[in-house]
């Protein structure tokens, strides 16, 4: 190679040295910040992908925070409902204890009633004061709205969830089959049946959905006296006895037994433990027309649930209580006794007697964003759990009527009180189950999915954006070696200039 003043090798080495120096600066910046991409020129395609991942990650983290807050809110509601459930359990104990009033004094019954009053007041206080972030949870503020409800036919409407449609939902209710109480003819007399009396002592056990009672019938009791004796245990059994002359052949008498409630959960059964003979008016055992009129055991006989369709779809039924779930809508309500049992309203057609219509509004309820997109919203309804709104199912009274002076307080109707409180317990259990189900399967699953998405997005963003310290350290070592060798080589190339000077 010719010896010239212009040293091409030096220029090339300087360019290489500058590139290595720039690379070293980039590596130092990556190590100092922990980020592989510190400017757009580091990785343009990676920067675009990273921006999309970070935007999605922000949405996921925001949704995760929202769901965790929703979970906390529903936990507050669940714990408050649990306290109400506990109070209802205490009320049930007091009512059940009072049902055996023969061994209680008036002061003891009054004391039990006082405790029930306190418990009912406590329920209303919990409902009025349970709140989260300044919003009341159990007083009906988060109830899903409805309109057009015929209160003479449908009551106790609880709407637990609705779809996110902006249109109202019209529900056409059709009673296909009426609900019935459990009923049996306990004793059927003949044409002289009204004069029948017990022959000796009869021991029997009568059972209904409230419980079982042992009853003793003494000698020479008439049919009306037998019915009255059985009705003394109605508070314990939930079974009512009545004397009828139309339950069998015309002109005969019979003791009919019926449950106080409707549906398959209501039942009547009688077991004759001893005795059971009946005397005719002459005092001899009656065997008129070749049959016996003795009191006989009755196998368990249940009532019948109503059969109801809504918008042509089948529903669940427990006596007069109806549950419906379809197209994101979930609700419960109770048919009135007349409507549910098929009482005919004069002036209406058969179809009108069976039909009722109401509307669930696309408004109200507690709406939550479960995911990071608008299509993941869900609404849960929390109706008022005050005592005036509990009970009332299957022809029972409202829970508030258990207060002193109410129609089912301990001095007025113990059997009705027990039916009412048990119905309220079922409503509270259903509400708590709905809240718990939404919390577990909707919110809980959303939190799990969002946490998985957060982990995946964070990992993907880290692969693109974060510095691999092992690789960066190795690169830095390589760059240091290259820079040092470049400097050494510049010294060698400078020797060419010295050679030219030696020629001169």
> Are the C-beta atoms of residues 320 and 342 closer than 8 Å to each other?
no
Mean pLDDT lowest for which of 106-120, 155-169, 484-498?
A: 484-498
**pLDDT tens sequence across 304-321:** 999 999 999 999 999 999
Q: Taking residues 358-371, report their average pLDDT.
A: 93
Which run of H or E residues covers position 362? strand 355-364
- Rounded to 10°, the helix 414-437/44-98 angle is 170
Q: Which residues are 255's β-sheet partners? A: 187, 243
Residue pointed to by tokens 């993941």: 376
Give 253 or 45, the one with higher predicted confidence: 45
Please check whether residues 221 and 121 belong to one and the same domain: no
Q: pLDDT category, 110, cuts 50, 70, 90?
A: very high
- DSSP E strands: which ranges in 27-129? none
Q: Which residues are 451's β-sheet partners? A: none
> For residue 31, is pLDDT > 90?
no
**pLDDT tens sequence across 162-198:** 998 889 999 999 999 999 999 988 876 554 445 678 8
349 located within any domain: no
Asked whether the whole model's pTM tops 0.85, one would answer: no
- Identify the burial level of 290 via C-beta atoms within 10 angstroms of its C-beta, where 0-12 means exposed, 13-18 middle and 19 or more buried: exposed
Contacts of 166 (CB under 8 A, 6+ apart): 362
Question: Which 3-state string (H, E, C) describes 191-203?
Answer: CCHHHCEECCCEE
262 located within any domain: yes
Please check whether residues 221 and 131 belong to one and the same domain: no
State the average pLDDT for the chain.
87
Contacts of 266 (CB under 8 A, 6+ apart): 181, 182, 208, 209, 238, 259, 260, 302, 303, 319
Q: Taking residues 119-131, report their average pLDDT.
A: 96
10 located within any domain: no
- Residue 447 pLDDT: 94
Q: Which residues are 134's β-sheet partners? A: none
Tell me the Ramachandran region of residue 301: left when phi exceeds 0, alpha when psi lies from -120 to 50, beta otherwise: beta
Q: pLDDT category, 384, cuts 50, 70, 90?
A: very high
User: DSSP readout, 146-177?
Assistant: EE---TTTEEEEEEEEE-S-SS-EEEEEEEEE
Q: Of 302, 333, 350, at which residue does a domain stop?
A: 302
Both tokens of residue 137? 């949870």
Give 421 or 250, the one with higher predicted confidence: 421
> For residue 429, is pLDDT > 80?
yes
Total number of domains constituting the chain: 2
Which run of H or E residues covers position 224? helix 223-231
For 22, other C-beta atoms within 10 Å of its C-beta total 11
72 located within any domain: yes
Helix and strand counts by DSSP (H, E) for the chain: 10, 22
68 located within any domain: yes
Please give the angle made by the CA atoms of 205, 210 and 215, to the nearest 5 degrees. Answer: 25
- Rounded to 10°, the helix 44-98/106-129 angle is 170
Largest CA distance in the chain: 164
**pLDDT tens sequence across 288-298:** 433 467 888 88
Please check whether residues 210 and 266 belong to one and the same domain: yes
**pLDDT tens sequence across 53-85:** 888 999 999 999 999 999 999 999 999 999 999
> For residue 119, is pLDDT > 50?
yes
Q: Of 247, 269, 302, at which residue does a domain stop?
A: 302
132 located within any domain: yes
- DSSP E strands: which ranges in 305-354? 307-310, 313-314, 316-318, 321-326, 329-335
Please check whether residues 274 and 186 belong to one and the same domain: yes
Mean pLDDT lowest for which of 93-102, 109-118, 352-361?
A: 93-102
Q: How far is CA 151 from the centre of its chain?
A: 24
> Distance between CA 479 and CA 439 in Å, rounded?
56
Q: Of 280, 302, 324, at which residue does a domain stop?
A: 302
Please check whether residues 190 and 276 belong to one and the same domain: yes
CATH at residue 281: 2.60.40
Contacts of 391 (CB under 8 A, 6+ apart): 397, 398, 399, 400, 401, 420, 421, 423, 424, 427
- Calculate what percentage of the chain has a pLDDT beyond 70: 91
> Distance between CA 316 and CA 327 in Å, rounded?
16
The Cα-based distances of 331 to 171, 359, 383 in angstroms read 11, 12, 11
The Cα-based distances of 64 to 211, 272, 320, 377, 456 in angstroms read 49, 64, 42, 14, 14
> For residue 462, is pLDDT > 90?
no
244 located within any domain: yes
Q: Taking residues 249-260, report their average pLDDT.
A: 74
Please give the angle made by the CA atoms of 156, 313 and 395, to the nearest 5 degrees. Answer: 25
295 located within any domain: yes
Query: Structural domain of residue 53, as residue ranges?
Result: 36-82+92-136+393-420+452-466
């Amino acid at each position: 190679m010719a010896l010239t003043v212009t040293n091409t090798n030096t220029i090339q080495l300087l360019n290489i040295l500058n590139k290595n120096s720039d690379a070293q600066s980039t590596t130092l910046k990556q190590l100092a910040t922990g980020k592989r991409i510190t400017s757009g020129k580091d990785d343009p395609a990676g920067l675009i992908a990273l921006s999309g991942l970070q935007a999605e990650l922000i949405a996921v983290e925001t949704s995760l925070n929202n769901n965790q807050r929703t979970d906390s809110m529903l936990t507050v509601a669940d714990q408050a409902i649990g306290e109400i459930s506990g109070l209802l359990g205490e009320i049930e104990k007091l009512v059940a204890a009072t049902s055996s009033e023969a061994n209680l004094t008036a002061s003891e019954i009054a004391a039990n009633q006082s405790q029930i009053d306190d418990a009912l007041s406590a329920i209303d206080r919990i409902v009025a004061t349970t709140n989260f972030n300044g919003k009341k949870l159990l007083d009906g503020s988060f109830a899903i709205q409805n309109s057009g409800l015929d209160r003479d036919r449908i009551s106790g409407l609880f709407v637990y969830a609705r779809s996110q449609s902006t249109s109202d939902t019209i529900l056409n209710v059709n009673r296909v089959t009426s609900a019935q109480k459990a009923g049996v003819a306990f004793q059927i007399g003949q044409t002289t049946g009204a004069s029948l009396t017990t022959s000796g002592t009869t021991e029997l056990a009568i059972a209904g959905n409230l419980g079982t009672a042992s009853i003793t019938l003494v000698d020479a009791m008439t049919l009306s006296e037998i019915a009255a004796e059985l009705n003394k245990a109605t508070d314990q059994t939930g079974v009512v006895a009545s004397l009828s002359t139309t339950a069998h052949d015309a002109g005969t008498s019979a003791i009919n037994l019926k449950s106080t409630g409707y549906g398959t959960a209501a039942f009547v059964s009688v077991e004759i433990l001893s005795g059971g003979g009946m005397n005719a008016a002459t005092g001899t055992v009656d065997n008129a027309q070749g049959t016996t009129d003795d009191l006989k055991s009755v196998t368990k006989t249940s009532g019948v649930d109503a059969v109801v369709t809504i918008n042509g779809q089948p529903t669940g039924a427990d006596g007069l209580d109806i549950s419906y779930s379809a197209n994101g809508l979930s609700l419960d309500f109770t048919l009135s006794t007349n409507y549910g049992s098929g009482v005919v309203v004069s002036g209406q057609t058969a179809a009108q007697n069976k039909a009722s219509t109401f509307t669930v509004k696309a408004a109200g309820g507690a709406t939550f964003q479960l995911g990071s997109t608008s299509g993941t919203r869900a609404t849960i309804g929390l109706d008022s759990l005050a005592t005036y709104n509990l009970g009332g199912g299957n022809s029972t009274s409202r829970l508030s009527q258990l207060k002193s002076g109410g129609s089912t307080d301990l001095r007025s109707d113990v059997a009705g009180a027990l039916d009412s409180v048990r119905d309220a317990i079922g409503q509270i259990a259903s509400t708590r189950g709905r809240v718990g189900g939404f919390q577990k399967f909707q919110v809980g699953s959303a939190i799990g999915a969002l946490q998985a998405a957060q982990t995946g997005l964070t990992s993907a963003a880290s692969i693109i954006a974060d510095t691999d310290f092992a690789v960066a350290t190795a690169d830095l070592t390589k760059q240091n070696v290259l820079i040092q060798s470049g400097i050494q080589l510049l010294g060698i190339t400078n020797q060419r200039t010295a050679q030219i000077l030696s020629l001169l």
